[in-house]
Structure 1
Amino acid sequence: MTEGALAKVRQWFMIMRHYGGIKNTILALYRYDDLKVGKCIGADKYGNHYYQNHRYFVGRSRWVKYADRVGLDYDASQVPPEWHRWLQYITDDPPTTTPLKRQPWMIDNIENKTGTSQAYVPYTTVPNKIESWKPPSPTTTQQTVTMKT
C-alpha cells in the first residue's frame, strides 16, 4: 500500500473510534451525510452538541450534532441564539467560555413549527374573494328535472 492509502485507512479507523464503532459510524453517516472528527466545545440545554476542528476550512470547521430526540427532523431553528453566534463565526468565543448576558426582554428559543400541528395559522376577518365551486347534489339535479317536465 502507498502512504496515501495508509493515511486514508488510518483516518477511517480514527473516525470509527470517534463515533464508537462501525454501527455508530454508519448511523452517523446516514443521519448527517458527513463524517467529521473534532473537539466537542459544549452542549446546550436542548441536548445539541457543538464541535470544532481547525483542520477544516472556515465555514466548515464548526458544526452541530442535534439531539437524538429530533431524529432526522433537525432544523437550524433548533439552535439557540448564543450558539448561533458561535456557529456563524459572529464571535470566536463559545458560550461555554463567554456566556451571553441575559436581558429581561430575551425569551427562550422556540423552534420553527412549520409543517406540524403546532404551526402558526393567522386568523383572518377578510371574506374570500373567490367562492369555490360546489357540484350540485343528486337530489338538487333530480328536482330540477322533475320541475321541467
Structure 2
Amino acid sequence: MMGLFSEIFVWWQGQTMGTRFYTWKNGKPVGTDEQGNRYYEARNGEKNGGYPRRWVVYNGYAEASRVPPDWHGWLHNTVDTPPTAETYTAKPWQKPHRPNLTGTPRAYRPQGSIIRGGERPKATGDYEPWRP
C-alpha cells in the first residue's frame, strides 16, 4: 500500500502516477544508464523550446546529480545521439560519475571543519573584530 501511496503523492522517490501514465502514453524508451535510470523521448515528436522533449525516470530518489554526463548532454539536447546508440570509450583522464554527496555523511569536509572534528586554525593577526 505504501508503494501506491508514494507513487501518487511523493515525487522525490521516483515517478508519480501522473509521470507513469504520461510516459506510458507519450514516451519512447531510449535507454538505461548504469544506475538504472530510464530515459525517454516524446513518441509523437513533441518539442519543447524547439528541441525534442526528453526526460528521465529515476531509479530511486529523484536527484539530478545522478544523471551521468553522457546522458546529461542528451537530455539537454547538447548531443542528438543517445549514449546507447554510439560506441564511446572514456579517455584515461576521465573519472567515473559520482553523485553529489552534499548533505550526506560522505560529503567533503575540509580540514578544520567542526563536523570533521578538527579545530579551526588560530587567526593570524590580520583580523580585527568589529565593536560597536
Structure (1/2) with the larger strand percentage: 2
Q: Determine the structure 1 residue equivalent to 2:102.
A: 114
Q: Which of 58, 70, 73 is the matching residue for 1:66?
A: 58
**Rg bigger for which structure?**
1
Q: Kindly provide the amino acid, as one letter, of the partner of residue 126 in structure 1.
A: P
Q: How far has the Cα of 1:121 moved from its partner?
A: 0.9
| TM-score, length basis structure 2 | 0.65
Q: Determine the structure 1 residue equivalent to 2:74.
A: 86
Give yes or no for contact 1:43–1:49 (8 Å, CA) kept in 2.
yes
Q: Unpaired segments of 5 or more residues in structure 1?
A: 1-22, 131-149
Q: Which of 8, 25, 28 is the matching residue for 1:39?
A: 28
Residues of 2 paired with 1:44 and 1:75: CA distance?
A: 14
% same residue:
33
Give yes or no for contact 1:82–1:100 (8 Å, CA) kept in 2.
no
CA shift in 2, pair 1:52/1:66, >3 Å: same
Q: Determine the structure 2 residue equivalent to 1:52.
A: 41
1:27 aligns with 2:7: yes
CA shift in 2, pair 1:115/1:91, >3 Å: same
| TM-score, length basis structure 1 | 0.58
Deviations 1:68-97, CA, capped at 9 Å, x for gaps = 3x3xxx221101111011011000100011
Q: Unpaired segments of 5 or more residues in structure 2?
A: 113-119
Residues of 2 paired with 1:89 and 1:99: CA distance?
A: 18
Q: Determine the structure 2 residue equivalent to 1:99.
A: 87
**Relative contact order, higher structure (CA 8 A, sep 6+):** 2
Q: Determine the structure 2 residue equivalent to 1:143.
A: none
Residues of 2 paired with 1:111 and 1:75: CA distance?
A: 9
Q: Kindly provide the amino acid, as one letter, of the partner of residue 80 in structure 1.
A: P
Aligned residues: 105
Residues of 1 paired with 2:9 and 2:30: CA distance?
A: 21
Residues of 2 paired with 1:92 and 1:60: CA distance?
A: 9
Deviations 1:5-29, CA, capped at 9 Å, x for gaps = xxxxxxxxxxxxxxxxxx86x8166
Q: Determine the structure 2 residue equivalent to 1:145.
A: none
The CA RMSD over aligned residues, in Å, is 3.0
